[in-house]
Structure 1
Amino acid sequence: MSDLILGRLLLRETFSLSESAGGGRTMSLQGKEVTPLISRDELVERHEGVLGLIGALVPARWEEKSERDGYYTITDASCDYTDRARQRIGWTTWKLTLLRHGADSDVDLESRLTGAVRKNDFSLGGERWHAPPIGTYGYHTGPTLPSVMTRTTTDGAITVYRGIPAGVSPRWGCAVRDYMRGRARLRSVGAERVGVGYRVAAADWELSNGLVRVRPLLTGGSLEVAAFTGGVWRPRAWWVEVGGVQVAQWESATLLRNNAEQVILRLTASRSPVGRVVLDLTLRRGSRMVEGYLQRGDSGTLAVYLAVAEVLTNNTSYLVRSTDDAAGDRVALGSARTYTAHASGGLTKASTTALDFWLGVVAGGSSAAAGDTALDLRNQYVGAMPEVTAAVRR
């Protein structure tokens, strides 16, 4: 059985396809996924994954029809689902329409950095930075060249471009097979999720970009945030606190955005006797930090701090450990807004309905590479911008 890979979605390769060239070259595909050839969970995941592709720019790879490999936009998607539980069989029949941009040798990817510098209380100008996939080549920003640094991820070394000139949308080339390397991703119940329509288990999920990994904790904290340094994951537990009460368990998890560049996950929990707390977590490709936005319905105190206390130095817009830990790193966090340093190593804000923050580490401690210092992480947080990736002919 041959495979068709559309972005992060694996499907059974179809025996035939149809193409047309009016108003752009389009391709129509249809196929069928069947259980018990694959598990029922895989069947549901592929069904939801097909529907989750609508509007996405994807690298497409055929195992047998490799001459059709290239970059496509999914313009239409549909699925028919049948589940005969008593007979232990089920299937989904899917249909996709793809607009072909071209082979990877014909196409540039263009990152359109959108938005403005994050509003902040510290007169920070932020930094325009970008991390395309591992294996990218020919990165072009016109006559003004950005600076370059590398970070070692679980997928390999990713290049981060810093100081991208204003008003420029970088262009770069990337082999289809490399596009998903170093991506932001979310896994839940053992599978990486495609799109935003699939249910995420509140107590069983994992955000990762190969540099930062975030998980829920059932005891001893609200979140586990791990940094990949020295070839291993190094976790720390964090408490999220609302009105003096620690969030011990998240009751729901919702995917708000899920593509290779950025994943946003929304967590909610009840407050006693009534109300809720909402936490949005954002993880970007190539980033050393996870971003958080914590909200409560009424005005009061919000806080995020280490479950195992560490002594951190407060530098007005961020906090950082003053000495290297046992792994040679230094935990760091900050906010775009004024805050009060928490005694356990964290930040707190009174009389507010929202608290923004970032959590990360200075990888390499006192010998950290440029771009991984707490000061640089702060500037990248304030200047970090969502990106829209488009395919353009060379």
Structure 2
Amino acid sequence: MSADWGTVTVGRITLRETFTVTESGLDGRELSLSGQESSPDLTRAQLVVRHDNLLALQNSVIPVTFTDKPERNGFYTVKSVSADYAEWSGEVVTSTWKLDLTRLGTQGSLDLQSRLTGAVRANPYSLVGERWHAPPIGHYGYFTGATNPGVMTRTGEDGPHLVYRGVPAGSAPRWGCDPTDYLRGRVRFLSGGEELVGCDQECSTTSWSLSNGLVNVTPSVSASLDVQTYSGGAWQSKLWRVFSDTSTEVTSWDAVTLLHNEPEMVTVRLTKGLNPGRFVMDLTMRRGARVVEGYLKRGTADTLTVRLAAMENNTAPASGEYVVATGDDPAGNRFIAGSASNFTPHASGGLSLAATTRLDFFLGAVVNGSSPASGDEAAVLRDQYLAAMPETIHGVRR
């Protein structure tokens, strides 16, 4: 991207900022952008991802920010999008695009409202979970009515992330955020090193990552998953093995599919053929979470297992809903794995369930294990997993 041009960021997509934007103010305030991305300067792979990301923009609330026209920063919805793709083989590839946006307002005039939906996961432990929520880093004025939630801070790669605990039932929290802060602490899915937008995308089966700045999950050449926790200013790795039956570890995947892809939550499905049949693992990451959520499924009943690649001493509470390391690892953390199912703890550290077609689980770490950050102990991670709720964001005039 030439140094002579600024950039415009539309949601999670960064484009070259052109000299002119077209605005209208009839029934609603509209803003139209058009431009062209090309390879070179981008690589061909980057150009194709940018083209596909543009066409994946949805009619949801997105921040739009400009380098040279910051007065037009604000929150918008996408009215329409189009892009013409052209390739002169071996020479130039271009994507000529056009965006029509509806302006909702500036950060000073607009509240963002989070509709938290869903229910506590059914579990045999009679646990009700904990209603929690994590807006973007840099938000302000978090409002839930007459009852305030508790607050804790989790520090990740993007900085300190406020997490609200005990959010009052039935409330739809409202909060403010500068558009330039909105994407901080978001959940990202990268394929081949490029962040993807939307779900209609081709995903690499070997080079991908799922991260929220607190937890990062990637494939591993020596295990099924590498689940990394951010602590002490760096990523700390734990390798996990996933078994599709009593003895078969899954170390490669036939397909990777995005099921949900928004800054506040991403769900990705990994599929493996069993010849015959198939084995599926869904992974979900939420903004502000210390764990990755998983769900295993196969057509015929067998033993499903998720366990550490290298054994660590571990224990479980009397109720048995999770297992956690008994001592701190070299980074000062303790692994944790749990489920809403009545599983059997694995000796290496992990969980297993016999004669089943499905198994839910969560994986993560108690940071600063023997002296965890306030409120970030094993039971909190369990309760927040049990009450994880999808989030839909709306713009509301103040």
TM-score, structure 2 normalization:
0.96
1:217 touches 1:249 (CA, 8 Å); kept in 2? Answer: no
Mapped partners of 1:13, 1:57: distance in 2: 21
1:283 match = 285
**Alpha-carbon distance, 1:351 to partner:** 1.3
TM-superposition CA deviations, 1:56-98 (whole Å, max 9, x none): 3211011122111100111211111111114x11211112121
**Alpha-carbon distance, 1:19 to partner:** 2.4
1:247 match = 250
2:343 match = 339
1:139 and 2:139 are equivalent in the alignment: no
TM-superposition CA deviations, 1:321-366 (whole Å, max 9, x none): 1222222111111001101111211111111111000001111112
**Alpha-carbon distance, 1:269 to partner:** 1.2
The two structures, once aligned, show a CA RMSD in angstroms of 1.2
**Alpha-carbon distance, 1:307 to partner:** 0.6
**Alpha-carbon distance, 1:131 to partner:** 0.7
**Alpha-carbon distance, 1:230 to partner:** 1.1
1:295 and 2:297 are equivalent in the alignment: yes
Q: Percent identity?
A: 50
2:313 touches 2:327 (CA, 8 Å); kept in 1? Answer: no
Question: Alignment partner of 2:370: what SS?
Answer: helix
**Alpha-carbon distance, 1:371 to partner:** 3.0
* Aligned residue type for 1:3: T
* Aligned residue type for 1:325: D
2:151 match = 148
Mapped partners of 1:334, 1:77: distance in 2: 43
Query: What are the within-5 Å matches in structure 2 for residues 89-238 of structure 1?
Result: 89-219=92-222, 221-238=223-240
Mapped partners of 2:167, 2:27: distance in 1: 34
TM-superposition CA deviations, 1:28-76 (whole Å, max 9, x none): 2222112213221221111111111121321101112211110011121
Mapped partners of 1:14, 1:78: distance in 2: 16
TM-superposition CA deviations, 1:160-206 (whole Å, max 9, x none): 00000011011111111111111110112121222222211100001
* Aligned residue type for 2:147: T
The counterpart of 2:276, out of the listed 261, 271, 274, is 274
TM-superposition CA deviations, 1:269-310 (whole Å, max 9, x none): 122x42211000001111000000011111111110001011
1:317 match = 321
1:44 and 2:48 are equivalent in the alignment: yes
1:139 touches 1:173 (CA, 8 Å); kept in 2? Answer: yes
Question: Alignment partner of 2:18: what SS?
Answer: coil
Mapped partners of 2:81, 2:300: distance in 1: 42
Mapped partners of 1:371, 1:297: distance in 2: 39
1:371 touches 1:377 (CA, 8 Å); kept in 2? Answer: no
* Aligned residue type for 1:162: R
Structure 2: gaps of 5 or more residues: none
1:306 and 2:319 are equivalent in the alignment: no
The counterpart of 1:60, out of the listed 58, 64, 67, is 64
1:382 match = 386
The counterpart of 1:2, out of the listed 2, 6, 15, is 6
1:75 match = 79
* Aligned residue type for 1:190: G
TM-score, structure 1 normalization:
0.97
The counterpart of 1:25, out of the listed 13, 22, 29, is 29
Deviates more, 1:63-72 or 1:288-297: 63-72
Q: Which runs of 4+ in 1 moved over 4 A?
A: none
* Aligned residue type for 1:303: T
**Alpha-carbon distance, 1:214 to partner:** 0.3
TM-superposition CA deviations, 1:98-137 (whole Å, max 9, x none): 1111111111111110111122221111111011111111
Deviates more, 1:382-391 or 1:363-372: 363-372
1:84 and 2:76 are equivalent in the alignment: no
Structure 1: gaps of 5 or more residues: none
Mapped partners of 2:100, 2:118: distance in 1: 31
1:203 touches 1:218 (CA, 8 Å); kept in 2? Answer: no
